[in-house]
Amino acid sequence: MNKTPSKQSWWLRLVEWVDGDREPKDQTLFVMEQRPPRHVQRSDAEFATQDKHRLHRFRRWYPVCAVLICLALMGILMAAVLTMPTFGEADNPINNEVAEHYLEYGLEETGSANVVTAMILSYRGFDTLGESCVLFLAVAAVMMLLLRDEKNTDEHDQQKQEREDGILAAHPDLILRRAAWVLVPFVFLFALYVLLNGEVSPGGGFSGGTILGAGLILYSAAYGPKQMRVLMDARRYAAVRTFGLVLYVLLYGIYIFLGANQMPNYLTGMTLLIDLAVGLVVACTVYGFYVLFSRGEF
Amino acid sequence: MFDGILTVIGLAFLLFGLFVFFSAVLGLYRLDYVLNRMHAAAVGDALGIFCVLVGLIFLHGWSLPAAKTLLVFLFLWLTSPVASHLIAEMEVFTISDIRKECEVEER
């Protein structure tokens, strides 16, 4: 077609090769099967040309618009960066007495060597309480939408679900079960370590709870809902979830009450307990999303 | 001298691991059937991770973090094949005619 292979065609050929639409001519080592092109020819020729024309126009304007939007965004961000104070200067607004206080008195006042834990669970525990409530409410909302009970399940759905459960029970995945048998204890152990050690090292309620939830998901996926119900059914799930949030509310309420009335604080291990409460809420959220979206029941 | 040799070996492992990852990503982008793509991705998951982490151990020297890196290997090499197995099983169960997409060995 082209007498002189220009740079354009070379670039186009490379692009087609990367997209997987075209094989290189030289197939010395790996001979792959020649595929028909992916774009199927439509029967209606006029419609096809119209479509092609539209696509062509879109392809021409899309990069231009994308580049313009990106440039505008870059300009705004650069302008914002120019007005920011220099990084690491001593008299920046972030280096004020608040951060200093956290770093100096954090261990003494909260009993937690990890400053991040001291901040999010004690100094700013009210904020974290709000986050826990958001997680709790998210699971409640998903339950409202997706939980299946006798009112919103008809005969057909139930039969389908029973058939699927029967197929799953008849063909247990041996590889997954073996892997889960090895992994699940270690996952739970690591989750407990992260939860309980969050006071003195990186870790804490959110990360530990996520690992705990992931372990529950792995167990549930490997051994099926029937086995999972022995460990955690709907009632137990609701109990654990509520217990986590109520424990947090109680502990933090006591904390605020003591602090506001200038009473001495003897609750040294409180950060640990709050950590545990947050971990329970987070684990229940992660596991609850999995269960509700996959089966719709516990 | 010894440190220099160790650094060179570590860098070689690291660069080879990066090359493997690059080819894995290229394959993931280029191939268009699930099982072929999984094959490409598995190369990065097994060999690429191995080379990068071994390179890091060589560069860092033997210590507690290096031992933890070995545990990372163990975890990744235990879980990644299981995940691939599940994806492939699901693909084989749900596809209507697998012979259209790839060669099937008859036994």
Q: How confident is the model at residue A11 (pLDDT cuts 50, 70, 90)?
A: confident
For residue B74, the chain A residue with the least C-alpha distance is A183
Report the pLDDT value the prediction gives residue A25, as an integer from 0 to 100. Answer: 62
Q: How confident is the model at residue A1 (pLDDT cuts 50, 70, 90)?
A: very low
A62-76, A281-295, B86-100: least confident range: B86-100
Report the pLDDT value the prediction gives residue A28, as an integer from 0 to 100. Answer: 56
Is the CB of residue B85 less than 8 Å away from at least one CB of chain A? yes
Report the pLDDT value the prediction gives residue A8, as an integer from 0 to 100. Answer: 66
Q: Could you tell me if the ipTM is greater than 0.85?
A: no
Per-residue pLDDT tens digits for A129-140? 999 999 999 999
Report the pLDDT value the prediction gives residue A2, as an integer from 0 to 100. Answer: 45
Tell me whether residues B78 and A179 touch, CB distance under 8 A.
yes
Tell me whether residues A18 and B26 touch, CB distance under 8 A.
yes
Q: Which residue, A204, A201, A189, A193, is CA-closest to A271?
A: A204
Residue A244's CB: how many other CB atoms inside 10 A? 25
Query: Measured between beta carbons, which residues in chain A are less than 8 angstroms from residue B79?
Result: 179, 183
Q: How confident is the model at residue A3 (pLDDT cuts 50, 70, 90)?
A: very low
Structural domain boundaries in chain A:
11-82, 114-148+172-294
Q: What percent of chain A has pLDDT over 70?
A: 89
Asked whether residue B71 is domain-assigned, the answer is yes
Does the pLDDT at position A31 exceed 70?
Answer: no
Tell me whether residues A38 and B32 touch, CB distance under 8 A.
yes
Residue B44 structural domain: 2-100
- The count of structural domains within chain B is 1
Query: Measured between beta carbons, which residues in chain A are less than 8 angstroms from residue B89?
Result: 173
Asked whether residue B106 is domain-assigned, the answer is no
Q: How confident is the model at residue A266 (pLDDT cuts 50, 70, 90)?
A: low
Report the pLDDT value the prediction gives residue A26, as an integer from 0 to 100. Answer: 59
Rg over CA atoms, chain B: 18
- Which residues of chain A have a Cβ shorter than 8 Å from any chain B Cβ? 17-20, 38, 173, 175-176, 179, 182-183
Q: State the maximum Cα–Cα separation within chain A, in Å, rounded to a whole number.
A: 91
Measured distance CA(A27)–CA(A47) in Å, rounded: 37
Measured distance CA(A124)–CA(B73) in Å, rounded: 38
Asked whether residue B107 is domain-assigned, the answer is no
Residues 6+ apart with CB under 8 A from A271: A110, A111, A112, A117, A118, A121, A122, A199
* Average pLDDT of the residues of chain A: 83
Q: Which residues in chain B come in under a pLDDT of 50?
A: none
CA distance A18 to chain B (A): 5
Q: Tell which wins on pLDDT, A142 or B104.
A: A142
Report the pLDDT value the prediction gives residue A182, as an integer from 0 to 100. Answer: 92
